[in-house]
Structure 1
Amino acid sequence: MAATALALYKNAAASWDAPCFEVDTMLIKIASLACTLCLAAVSASSSTRAPLVRLDDATVIGFTEGTSTSFLGIPFAQPPVGKLRLQLPQPVARYSGIINATTFGNQCIQQITAQPIFPASLPPEIPPFVATLAELVDVPQSEDCLNINVIVPAGTRPGDSLPVAAWIYGGGFQVGSNAVRPGAVIVNRSIELGTPVIYVSMNYRLNAFGFLGGSEIQKAGLGNLGLHDQREALRWVQKHISAFGGDPSKVTIWGQSAGSHSVALQMITNGGDTEGLFRAGWMESGSAPPTGSILKLQPTFDYIVSETG
């Protein structure tokens, strides 16, 4: 638009054979038009500018839709692959560069069979239903799946100190994804109610990648890696949520089914030591389940070793 104004100015200057007072009038009109065009350009740029958040040395790019702004698929831990496969989650040392957070990150590897993973006492309709959860979202599966979504009311800034609802998905600890629940709906509703919140949802490793058992796993202290992933995500929230306008002292963890079990387990693990990562828990359909010994899964461990070498 500024180029348009400059072209108008040049065209006018080239034809200035008029008296001085007419030239002055023309200059005023062109200057006025140039200012109008430049202001319009600035306004358009401001209204379409992508929302940005600074994490360490990185710029995180999100998107705004309606009354909520989303930052999706942000890595909260190093990829659990290679030497970090079947190991405790390791935090990202420091963010740098540009993080495109406009699409969901990978979901964790999903269980593809419903037969050996569910108790025989369950109604026969349950295993097929849970198995279909992995098909609800069109998101790639990968071992590199430890990412987190943050959805905030549009216009939220650091220092707004909004409460945080951290969602943990269900799926029998076998399937599931942080892309299943429409977090923007919850944020938008909180705005309508006059009590805006920030919605967070994390991925965690599933099935054998996250809950492998056996004596070898017990000796290495590597049981329940999926629960460790959840806790690492909550540590990330404590460290970074203020950059998104959240209050780290007002985090409520929230889950359904296996996510509800997870909430209960996070509340009672290590003798109830929450590390100050959350102040409350909200459980939908499930409390801490009686799990028994990790050694019960030795046959599963042996089978996987025999099949993978």
Structure 2
Amino acid sequence: MGTIEGHLLAAAFFLFYALYYSVLVSLALLRGQRVLKPPLPPREKQGHRLWQRVPLEGMVKVVITLTGILTEFFYPPGINRMKMVDWEDPQRPFMFTDAWHHITMYLFFMLSGVVDIVSQLCLAQQSRKLERAAEAMAFYVLVLLMIAHLENKSTLEIRVHVLFLVPTFLVALVLNIEVWVPDQPPLWVLKTWMGMVLSTWMLQLSVVMYSPPSGQPWKADNPKDMTFLSIFFCWHLGLGAALLAAIYGLCSLWHHHCSSRTATLDPSYQPCPTESNGGELDKLRAEAML
């Protein structure tokens, strides 16, 4: 992830994750669900074909994180960072510290995907608590690694990574709480909002550090540049809220459209008679009195 491509891959992963949960949260709120994702039925009541039971979310986590790990090891082509210790040096120094930071992060998110797959595919009954705990652990590991990542960095890199830690820690904290209290819609919204901020800020981080639009690098010794980093982060808070509201609005339109269409097509729906002299109305009143 020491390149713009690596940061963009991670940002795309988190953005996909945030957009996916934005849709889930929006539909859950519109439908009045008590849980964000309804539990799967027991294995004997699921489809017999394996591809019908494979959890898509877990598979996406595994595929994207595996791509990130391979990128850290072998990108650009011709590079091999699998070597952790330089055995040729008498001091035996560690090598590729930043790459191993990123690989460890990817490994824990891959573990979260594997837990999703095992919980939904192999266990007799799906364990939502186990899935949330694994996901929370992945974000806590990300926070810990980002803190260690700040060592021996420039002031600019420290500032952008500290701002990145704020939404990351909040997502980890909410996931931790959801292990025991999963049915709280405000927590769903907070987690999704912070996930959106986390992903868009990582995109901003890539631009600031590797490809500034002005063509001039950001300067850590320039107070104005450092001030605008905090300003931009506040804008990302607003951008995340706006994206979440827009997705909720689109889901609301889709939900109401589908609801009205279902009501129109449902043959069992009959309008209640309202005429005072209707025989059906008198019959209903008599039944109600009984």
Larger Rg: 1
TM-score by length of 2: 0.24
Higher relative contact order structure (alpha carbons within 8 Å, sequence separation ≥ 6): 2
- Report which of the two has the higher share of strand: 1
- Report which of the two has the higher share of helix: 2
TM-score by length of 1: 0.22
